Amino acid sequence: MNNEILTKLSYGVYVVTANCGNKPVGCVVNCVMQITCDTLCISVNHNNFTNECIDMSKKFAVSILGEHVEDNIIPTFGFNSGRDINKFEKIKTLTKDGLEVLEDSVGYIICELSGKFETETHTVFIGKILDGDIINKDVPMTYDYYHKVKKGKSPKAAPTYVEEKSESDKIAYRCKICGYIYEGDISQEPDTYVCPICKKDKSFFERI
Q: Which domains does the chain have, with CATH numbers?
A: 11-148 (2.30.110.10), 172-207 (2.20.28.10)
By C-alpha distance, which of 157, 174, 165 is closest to 29?
Answer: 157
What's the confidence (pLDDT) of residue 7? 66
What's the confidence (pLDDT) of residue 167? 47
CA dist list (Å): 155 to 56, 137, 198, 208: 24, 27, 10, 18
Residue range 70-125, pLDDT digits in tens:
989 998 999 888 888 899 999 999 999 999 999 999 999 999 999 999 999 999 99
Partners of residue 201 on adjacent β-strands: 194
By C-alpha distance, which of 203, 143, 160, 204 is closest to 179?
Answer: 204
As a whole number, mean pLDDT of residues 140-150 equals 80
Q: How far apart are CA 145 and CA 160, in angstroms?
A: 14
Residue range 1-40, pLDDT digits in tens:
776 676 677 889 999 999 998 899 999 999 999 999 999 9
As a whole number, mean pLDDT of residues 46-67 equals 96
Is the pLDDT higher at 144 or at 92?
92
What's the confidence (pLDDT) of residue 169? 55
Which pLDDT band holds residue 168 (cuts at 50, 70, 90)? very low
Q: How far apart are CA 112 and CA 58, in angstroms?
A: 6
